[in-house]
Structure 1
Amino acid sequence: MLAVDEVTIPEHVYGYPDVAFGGYVAGLLASRVADDAHLRVDFRRRVPVGTPLLVTAAESGGYALTDRDGTVLVEARGSAVTIDLPPAPTWERASTHTEAALPTRRPTDCYGCGSYCAPGKGLRLYPSVLDDRIVAAWTPDAELARPDGTLSPENVWAALDCPGGWAGIELLGMPRTGAVTAALTATRFAPIRAGEDYLSYAWPIGAHGRKFTVGVAVTTADGSPCALAEALWIVPRSTSGAGDPN
């Protein structure tokens, strides 16, 4: 593989302490793929924050993230999502639910769902159980936007990560600590813009041993799809030192 450039995941972009937030890393690779709207990202090893890493191009047309020694940490390649998109909840119901559930959340600084994150330092997306799904009403902060007002691929893919972890925990019995994103396959339909209202929701697909599969979607407030993902979460055989889901 041929090195393309050097990147460093910002130190605040984590789910577990010192471990880069999986969806953000996936989006970083997606931003380099020509057809980044249909992509599968596989996580081989945990990615550190605040450490120079290399993005490399593969002959297949995909990309990989490696450490300075060439060890592959994450790989990305073209692949389409094959799951169906279930109907979105109404904005009114989701926003009422999110507002009511927020005071009961355990505060964290997770890049995806942490309420300790300042605007622009996290998605501030707060998913919780509503019926048979994980749901959040979400209005991305202006500080997350690029100059054109849209969210970067890093933040779009990050929004497809954290809700899936909560679906695994709350709806499939995945352990609350230790699980990590093993693979994330996503399809993007439309840009996500800061300051506009969106629905984030996730649902269970299946569980087998240490593996948990979930679906995740982001739609506009009226239910028009923006992004859809299928995520595989896995509980490592050793989960020492784990914290909140990434």
Structure 2
Amino acid sequence: MSEIIIERRFQGPSQSANGGYFAGLLAELIDGPAEITLRAPPPLETPLELAKTADGYEVLHEGNAVGSVRPGSFSVEVPAKPSDAEIEAALPNYPGAKNSPIPHCFVCGVKNAPGEGLRVFASPIEGRDLVAAKWDAHPNMAGDDGFILERHVFAALDCPGAYAWFGQTSGSMLLGRIAGEVTGKVKAGDRCTVLAWREGIDGRKAYAGSAVLDADERVVASAFATWITVPSVS
């Protein structure tokens, strides 16, 4: 058993980690596609126990399960990338600019300066059933080899999935489970594209696909996520 501590800069809601970052941390422990389940909000700046299980790992806080990871499988069909002009035209309609209850979110928060958060502002593309954003891969997110850490690339798959459902559900949406994989590398300083789209809904559960495309428009990460509708959070 080992220990992990999530710094406050990686927050989602004020008192917990961003779900995508948490999932990305755990995904790094698995070779190939990983399935991460969040069972409780991961606390910040608090020692969390990482325990080996029969098929993966479990994260515990004071003996209670926070989340788990195991090898997974998923299938998504990544839609065609909108043009850069279409993505630029959509940005003024980014829902998180005025309506986000968590403007400090590591992935999608507008209050983070470049290098503090990912600043992935997934916005609805006119005439398409998807959201898209440009993502500038800041050197602050890179390892010594000059490539963005896998956990950050994986995190970029998170919030856009919720924005794909913006206006289609009531209340807030929290990540419940995500199966995904980082299959390529993102070079620090590159401008990437993040896409997300709806994959169906079942009661309080809404499903979304998402993908990260590198500067050459190659898919370097993708995921299928289950989002849970809850009362508004902050």
- The answer to whether TM tops 0.5 is yes
Q: Is the 8 A contact 2:205 2:226 kept in 1?
A: yes
Question: What is the aligned partner in structure 2 of residue 134 from structure 1?
Answer: 131
- The answer to whether residue 97 in structure 2 is matched with residue 105 in structure 1 is yes
What's the TM-score, normalizing by structure 1?
0.86
- The answer to whether residue 187 in structure 2 is matched with residue 193 in structure 1 is yes
What's the offset of the Cα at 1:138? Answer: 1.3
Identity %: 30
Question: What is the aligned partner in structure 1 of residue 227 from structure 2?
Answer: 233
Count how many residue pairs are aligned between Structure 1 and Structure 2: 229
**Which of 45, 49, 52 matches 1:57?**
52
Q: Distance in 1 between matches of 2:75 and 2:94?
A: 32
- The answer to whether residue 20 in structure 2 is matched with residue 23 in structure 1 is yes
Question: What is the aligned partner in structure 2 of residue 165 from structure 1?
Answer: 162
Q: Per the alignment, do residues 55 and 196 of structure 1 end up closer, same or farther by CA in structure 2, a change over 3 Å counting?
A: same
Q: Per the alignment, do residues 103 and 26 of structure 1 end up closer, same or farther by CA in structure 2, a change over 3 Å counting?
A: closer
Q: Per the alignment, do residues 42 and 104 of structure 1 end up closer, same or farther by CA in structure 2, a change over 3 Å counting?
A: closer
Q: Distance in 2 between matches of 1:104 and 1:31?
A: 28
Q: Is the 8 A contact 1:29 1:64 kept in 2?
A: no
Q: Is the 8 A contact 1:81 1:228 kept in 2?
A: no
- The answer to whether residue 136 in structure 2 is matched with residue 147 in structure 1 is no
- The answer to whether residue 88 in structure 2 is matched with residue 91 in structure 1 is no
1:50-105 deviation line (CA, Å, top 9, x unaligned)? 11101111122x11111132x2111111112212222222234324533x446992
What's the TM-score, normalizing by structure 2?
0.90
Q: Distance in 1 between matches of 2:10 and 2:192?
A: 22
Question: What is the aligned partner in structure 2 of residue 203 from structure 1?
Answer: 197
Q: Distance in 1 between matches of 2:153 and 2:83?
A: 21
Letter in 1 for 2:147: T
Contiguous gaps of at least 5 residues in structure 1 = none
Task: Specify the SS of the correspondent of 1:154.
Answer: helix
Letter in 1 for 2:81: A
Q: Distance in 2 between matches of 1:16 and 1:209?
A: 23
1:115-145 deviation line (CA, Å, top 9, x unaligned)? 2112332111111111321110111211111
